[in-house]
Amino acid sequence: MSVEVTTLKSGINVVTDAMPHLETASLGVWVASGSRDERHDEHGISHFLEHMAFKGTRRRSARQIAEEIEAVGGDLNAATGAESTAYYARVLKSDVPLALDVLADILSDPSFDREELLREQNVIIQEIGAVADTPDDLIFEHLQLVAFPNQSLGRSILGTPKTVRSFDGGKLRAYLGRNYRAPDIVVAAAGAIEHRAVVAEVEKHFGGFNGPASPLPEPANFGGGTHVEKRELEQVHIALALPGVSIVDAALYSLQVFTNILGGGMSSRLFQEARERRGLCYSIYSFHVPYSDIGMFRTGSGACQSADESRPADGAGKLRRAHRAIGPADDHPRPPDTARRAGGQGRRGHG
């Protein structure tokens, strides 16, 4: 096994998987902090911080951050989730020290320049608008809110225009100091790397992170309910959620297999029943999202108009009936290795 793990004195975990036959490396910093850790007046700040990390430090301007990595043929990006935020890069093996230096710099010493801050607020408000104009994205924003009402886990990761406009350098630094702490940070690298060299670079560049682990968020409670929003569209977008299991639950992998069999691909029972047999929709799928203490099982689809071009809602009703019409396994003969194949699909990151 080529995976090695070292926990530094500060509490940062360094995980590597050396692949000597490669000439490139992927590496990143994963922080156990996301939108779920936001206070009520911080709605959207996790995502905003992720954006602002790339907008300059005391050593580098926003342009220099982008150019230093791309000048050596690499790329740099980030993503915010409910319970984690990731900052990552891909570079040639000789540029691993540079990538770690840049990642440490943007996280430990962001400048939060006021002009950059105002510009990025406008960018994120445009991003919020883009989601509002994309019904197959927006429906899952509504689904999350109904599933976890009055909880940070139910709120949009992007925030609202009002909350985004309220953020300044002081609020960003307070959130950063409260949540970006050494025991909550994992630095991971895979590819053309050497474990001891990565550990040495992390010790060199990430020394500013310390302190105890950040406080845990409040336990989540699945609520449930219904949300209907009428728009002049060609389709009715439908999403259904049920309570799932947490990421540490022993049933997680069984549920992932079930998810893939039900709606994980073209051979899935939902796809075969709703699209192939009945022609009700273009896409239909199911997936499970596990969190640290709870999970959410989801299905989603865009229901087409009925054949006589009557109200799109007619297609939605037929789609609901198609869900209920899926019979026992005997009604849908499967190869004996279906579960094994579905498990493999889950390991590849689908569903």
Which residues have a catalytic role annotated?
A: 50
Locus of tokens 């105890």: 212
Cα 68 from Cα 97, distance rounded (Å): 12
> 327, exposed or middle or buried, with CB in 10 Å at 0-12, 13-18, 19+?
exposed
Dump strand ranges (E) for 93-233.
185-191
Cα 20 from Cα 123, distance rounded (Å): 40
> 187, exposed or middle or buried, with CB in 10 Å at 0-12, 13-18, 19+?
buried
Nearest to 284 by CA among 305, 297, 298: 298
Count how many Cα atoms sit within 13 Å of the Cα of residue 321 in the half-sphere of its side chain: 9
Nearest to 74 by CA among 96, 56, 53, 55: 96
Q: Which residues pair with 16 in a beta bridge?
A: 4, 189
